[in-house]
Amino acid sequence: MKNSIVAGATGLVGSHILQKLADHGDRPLALVRRQIEDLPANAEILKVDFKQFLINAELPPCNHLYLCLGTTIKTAGSRTAFRTVDFDYAFALAKKAREAGATGVSLVSSVGADAHAKNFYLRTKGELEEAIKSLSFSRINIYRPGLLIGQRQEKRSAERAGQFLSTLIDPLLIGSLSQYRSIQASLLASTMIDNSDKGIGVNYFHFRNFNTSIQG
């Protein structure tokens, strides 16, 4: 049985990963800032204040980290606050997981992520990818989805509009443009779990690599 930690387990992708791992008979540990309603029977929870936790705490022994931590600039309130969550906290968790024995990490990034991008959001995502690659994980799986489809606890009006438009736009995105298609969060979660033990080194996953019957 794998000892997995899910960071961001209350989020859209992390909640699906937590449920699916528990359904598989694993005992995943959810690393969260608030209590989880309807916590899966096989799952455990570690409720933390991330700022304090990353200063003076350690993670329990683990094999794999599912890193689904993230916010938006609007929700965070500023670019600085956004980067604190999406880069500082995320990288520190990856580092602590490696120190706790994890040999693999699965990161939810974004299509277009690039450490040299002019766009602040995409640059931050790209910088996180590069930072995690500097850690000595045997397996680093980086997922670059387009718009995530699913029901969030957190309300994001712009995202809801995007989900509606994606039903019209997705069929037009073929060939190299298929990477920009939207993806169901549950499908991304199952893809991450299915690939957690496959391959070594750094592996990138785009829409065409996700668990979907649509090809493009």
CATH of the domain at 74: 3.40.50.720
Q: How many helices (H) and strands (E) does the chain have?
A: 8, 9
Task: Please give the residue range of the domain that contains residue 11.
Answer: 4-207
pLDDT of residue 33: 87
pLDDT of residue 167: 60
**Residue 111 within a domain:** yes
Position of tokens 């997705």? 170
* Residue percentage of the chain with pLDDT more than 90: 60
**Residue 192 within a domain:** yes
Higher pLDDT, 107 or 37: 107
Q: How many whole angstroms from its chain centre is CA 182? A: 15
Number of domains the chain contains: 1
Q: What is the mean pLDDT of residues 59-81?
A: 93
> To the nearest whole number, what is the mean pLDDT of the chain?
87
Q: At 177, which amino acid appears?
A: L
pLDDT of residue 210: 85
Task: Tell me the whole-structure pTM to 2 decimals.
Answer: 0.89
**Residue 213 within a domain:** no
pLDDT of residue 177: 66
**Residue 61 within a domain:** yes
**Residue 64 within a domain:** yes
The answer to whether residue 208 scores a pLDDT higher than 50 is yes
pLDDT of residue 153: 57
**Residue 216 within a domain:** no
* Residue percentage of the chain with pLDDT more than 70: 86
User: What Cα–Cα distance (Å) separates residue 20 from each residue in 23, 33, 73, 134, 152?
Assistant: 5, 21, 29, 29, 17
Distance between CA 116 and CA 124 in Å, rounded?
9
**Residue 54 within a domain:** yes
Pairing relationship of beta strands 64-67 and 44-47 according to DSSP bridges: unpaired
pLDDT of residue 216: 42
